[in-house]
Amino acid sequence: MKKYWIEELPGMPPLPACPELYAGPDRPTATFIEEGHFVEYFEYPFDRARTVALFYGPREFIIPSHPCFSTVRSLDRCSVAEFTYGSIFRTLRNFPESQYHYRFLKKTYEEKVADRLKLARLGCEQERFQFVLDKQPWVLRVAPENLVAGYLGVTIARLKEMKSTYSKP
């Protein structure tokens, strides 16, 4: 059974397999954000709070972490372009030079995932807060506090404390 990176987050259980052919060639598998911000989260297992996987901003590609259990939601007004699995591979086959763009996008996504796993492994909540402040400062401005708190692994009260401490001149 395929292992998904999201299963490496602390406390995240193994995810069940998707039904066969769930992610067919006509299903959107990547979304380019022209403008706006998005969050990806999991509500699995169903007896616990949602797990925030990633935040995405303008000019990034959303590649869902799991085809069945991942939920992607807009955080504000947005404009996007969706790409299906089939169209991506047709483009790669018909336009060999597009492989350079594909490799760049794949590398960028892999770096984003590596940063998320690094964030999850940081032991100190101040380090996690600073990591997000350095890498994606817009998350602290745009995303709802409950999602940011879950992303950082802190309470909403602690998040507010850290925000007020770091925003002082």
Which tens digits make up the pLDDT trace of 49-76? 778 999 999 999 999 888 888 899 999 9
Return the closest-CA partner of residue 37 out of 55, 50, 64, 61.
55
The number of domains in the chain is 1
Is 120 inside a domain boundary? yes
Is 97 inside a domain boundary? yes
Is 158 inside a domain boundary? yes
Is 13 inside a domain boundary? no
Half-sphere exposure for 86 (CA within 13 Å, toward CB): 5
Which pLDDT score, from 0 to 100, does residue 18 have? 75
Work out the pLDDT band at 46, boundaries 50, 70, 90: low
Is 146 inside a domain boundary? yes
Residue 58: how many other CB atoms lie within 10 Å: 14
Which pLDDT score, from 0 to 100, does residue 4 have? 84
Domain residue limits at 160: 28-167
Is 6 inside a domain boundary? no
Is 20 inside a domain boundary? no
Which pLDDT score, from 0 to 100, does residue 152 have? 94
The length of the chain, given as a count of residues: 169
Say if residue 169's pLDDT is above 60: no
Work out the pLDDT band at 22, boundaries 50, 70, 90: low
**What does the alpha-carbon distance between residue 161 and residue 143 come to, in Å, rounded to a whole number?**
16
At 45, which CATH number? 2.60.120.10
The answer for residues whose C-beta is within 8 angstroms of residue 149's C-beta and 6 or more apart is 155, 156, 158, 159
Is 36 inside a domain boundary? yes
